[in-house]
Amino acid sequence: MLLSEKDLEALNAGQHAAPFEILGPQPNGKAWTVTTIQPDAVAVAVVINGKETLLDRVSGDVFSGEVADKAYTLKVTYADDQVVECSDAYAFGPMLTDFDQYLMGEGTHYQLWRAVGAHVTTHEDVAGTHFAVWAPNATRVSVVGDFNM
């Protein structure tokens, strides 16, 4: 999958309107193309069953490469030699249903606390925290805490 200059510019600026369409695993024939954005990384590898595949730096903080499976983790190396292995947030399917989004849009989601906010959960066999907001006019939303690097 080739990324357009427009997509790369928008990703690097943190302004891409539909990042799930190009980040994470995308089908590529019988293989997958994994694309990730990792600010300040010097190298990024995909780890599948203990085997590492180095991704190419495409532009700025965007890395991409072809892999055999979409079940993977990322191994990110930084300039200070810090190495972090983590899940790729863009490798997961959605947690909000179309019905949740419909009810939020019409203002009748009477159990909104179940859909938005922070919820400790396990999704697709990975434990973590799901965070969602309803901000239809926002151009960007960030979750910031001491867990950010």
The segments of the chain whose pLDDT lies below 70 read 1, 147-149
CA distance 134 to 119: 15
d(CA 34, CA 62): 11
Whether 67 and 46 have beta carbons less than 8 Å apart is answered as yes
CATH placement of domain 5-91 = 2.60.40.10
Which tokens belong to 78?
């930084």
Tokens of 111: 């159990």
> Tell me: the pLDDT tens digits for 36-56?
999 999 999 999 999 999 999
Interval 53-70: pLDDT, tens: 999 999 999 999 999 888
Single-letter amino acid code for the residue at 8: L
CB atoms within 10 A of CB 61: 17
Q: Which amino acid is at 111?
A: Q
What pLDDT is stored for residue 135 in this prediction?
86
- At residue 3, the pLDDT reads 86
What integer pLDDT is reported at residue 1 of this predicted model?
54
Radius of gyration of the chain from Cα atoms?
Answer: 17
What are the start and end residues of each CATH 2.60.40.10 domain in the chain?
5-91
